[in-house]
Each structure stands twice: as structure tokens, then as C-alpha cells.
Structure 1
Amino acid sequence: MVDRRLAVEAWENLFRAQHEIFERISGDFDDTDLSQPEYDVLLTVTRAPRHTARLRDVTANMLISQPSVSRLVDRMVSRGLLTKCADPEDGRGSLVTATEAGKRAFRAIAAQHGKHIVERMQALDDDELATLKALTQKLRDAL
């Protein structure tokens, strides 16, 4: 059986570390053409084959509700960052594709943002990072 006190302490440390790191890197989106949620959408879409992802996959990677993701995507479509069309394999779903403008906006932030993430995570060595990745994935998979 899991030690309740240890579980709570581990959760609090994980939550506080994530929050403190996020606070330090959130400034990466100040004075840019993208908000942090828009960047997250483009991160998922630009990593997908042909820079196209199912809307449900974008939603799964976001920390906001499905209706909020849909509204965000629609705003990004109106700004010319994405295109959206029906998913030919799922009549109820949609596909979103990064436009050239969307890819440019993403790339303009990605390198600096990635650098700042690495700076914050370098308190851990590569083995520790691999362990952290595996442990957090295990937590996510358990949900």
C-alpha cells in the first residue's frame, strides 16, 4: 500500500515545481504574436504528419475544455494561423492544419521557449530527466 503522507508530499512537490517553472517561462509569450494556449495548439499540429492533426488530438494535449479548444481553434483559423476542415475518416471530427503563417509564428517562439525550458530543467541530468519523463507518463497513463 502507498504511504499516504509520501504520496501527498510527492504530489505537492511535483505541482509546485511545475507551477514555479511555468511562471518563469510564461514570459516567453509576452510581446509575441501567440498566446501560450495558441502555441500549445501549434505545437501539437506542427508535430503531426503534414502539420495536420485531428481536433480531438489537439484537445487531448490541452489543459482546457473541449469547447474552449474549439473556440480557440476557430479564433486561430480567423487569424490565418490554422485551417480547419471535416475529417474524412470521422464525420463528426475535424482536421486542423498549420498555415505557413502559423508555422512561422510557432517557429518564432519555439527556439527561445525550448531554450528556457532546458535552462529550468538542467537541475536534472539526462538519466533523471528520463526517469521523470517515465514517471510522469506512468501517472498520466493511470488516468
Structure 2
Amino acid sequence: MTGTSNPAASLKVTTDAWEALFRAQVAVMRQITAMPEFGKLSMREYDVLFNLRTCPGGKSRLVDLNKQLLISQPSLSRMVTRLEDQGLVVREPDPNDHRAMQLSLTEKGRKLQQEIGREHVKHLHNLLGSALSEDEFHELRRLSTKLRDAVQ
């Protein structure tokens, strides 16, 4: 056996670990949704702005953006319309596919995302920063990435 292959975990170990991870996420998300920065936008709306900001070239088709979010395509479409009505996002024809539209942040959307983001990272650090050591956070990131890569 090489150093890169590991025996599969047992059913009990897999489900116990998943349950612990899920319960931790629920507890953290309850705290996050109550953070004051989400009085300006919902956490899901902020997630759309954040993901648009991190897209290559700052633009994304709706179908591609939807792959990064935990929301249905129809719900995302309605949310984008609301964000567009608020002047936070804009739709433009996709130069590579004239049937599709690309989404991007407006200057107002970019500023609001940055404003909320600055507060959000401070609050996240206050909430979680003392829960693990720096090495443990690196390991959590490594393991989380490994899990994500395994299911994609």
C-alpha cells in the first residue's frame, strides 16, 4: 500500500464523523446568521455577492454561480432579480453565448460586499478563533478540502 491510499473507514466512523461535522456547522451557522452584518443583506444574498466577487473576471453565468451555492436555480434567479433591483448586480449578454447572460457586481454591490465582508471576518474570528489552534485550523481546512474534492 502506498502512502496516498488509505483503507476505507467503517460505516460507524463515517457516520459519527459526519454527524459531528453537521452538528458543528448547525451550531456555527446559528451564530453567524444572527451577526449584525446580515441586517443589510441576508446571508444568502451576501453569499451571492461574495461568490460573484471571487469569480474569474468578476463575472458568472447564473448556472455556473448556482454550482457554488446551496440554493435552487429558481430561488437564485429570483434573488438575483432582487439584487439587481437594489442596484447590487447587473446582467449583461455573455459574449461567448448570446443565449446566456453574465452577472457581475455593480460598484455599489462591490462596496457593500466589502463592507459586510470586513465585519464578517472579524465576527467569525471572534466566534471561532480561540476554538482551535492555528495548526488545527490548517488541518481542518485540509480535511474539508479533501472531503469536498472526494465528492466532486
1:86 corresponding residue in structure 2: 93
Question: Could you tell me how far apart the structure 1 residues matched to 2:98 and 2:133 are?
Answer: 46
Cα 1:127/1:54, change in 2 over 3 Å? farther
2:3 corresponding residue in structure 1: none
- Deviation track 1:48-87 (CA, whole Å, cap 9, x = no partner) reads 3443233233211111111211211121111111001222
Question: Could you tell me how far apart the structure 1 residues matched to 2:20 and 2:103 are?
Answer: 36
1:108 corresponding residue in structure 2: 115
1:21 corresponding residue in structure 2: 28
Question: What is the Cα deviation at residue 131 of structure 1?
Answer: 1.7
Query: TM-score, with normalisation over the residues of structure 2?
Result: 0.83
Q: Percent identity?
A: 38
1:105 counterpart letter in structure 2: L
Question: Could you tell me how far apart the structure 2 residues matched to 1:61 and 1:49 are?
Answer: 13
After alignment, is 112-121 or 75-84 more displaced?
112-121
Question: What is the Cα deviation at residue 47 of structure 1?
Answer: 2.1
Aligned partners of 1:56 and 1:93 also within 8 Å: no
Question: Could you tell me how far apart the structure 2 residues matched to 1:27 and 1:51 are?
Answer: 28
2:142 corresponding residue in structure 1: 134
Question: What is the Cα deviation at residue 6 of structure 1?
Answer: 1.2
Aligned partners of 1:34 and 1:105 also within 8 Å: no
1:52 corresponding residue in structure 2: 59
Question: What is the Cα deviation at residue 100 of structure 1?
Answer: 1.4
What stretches of structure 2 of length at least 5 have no aligned partner? 1-7
Question: Could you tell me how far apart the structure 2 residues matched to 1:69 and 1:44 are?
Answer: 13
Question: Could you tell me how far apart the structure 1 residues matched to 2:30 and 2:90 are?
Answer: 31
Q: CA RMSD in A?
A: 1.9
Tell me the secondary structure at the aligned position of residue 93 of structure 1: strand
Question: Could you tell me how far apart the structure 2 residues matched to 1:111 and 1:30 are?
Answer: 9
2:76 counterpart letter in structure 1: V
Cα 1:3/1:54, change in 2 over 3 Å? same
Cα 1:82/1:132, change in 2 over 3 Å? same
Which protein shows a greater Rg? 2
After alignment, is 116-125 or 32-41 more displaced?
116-125
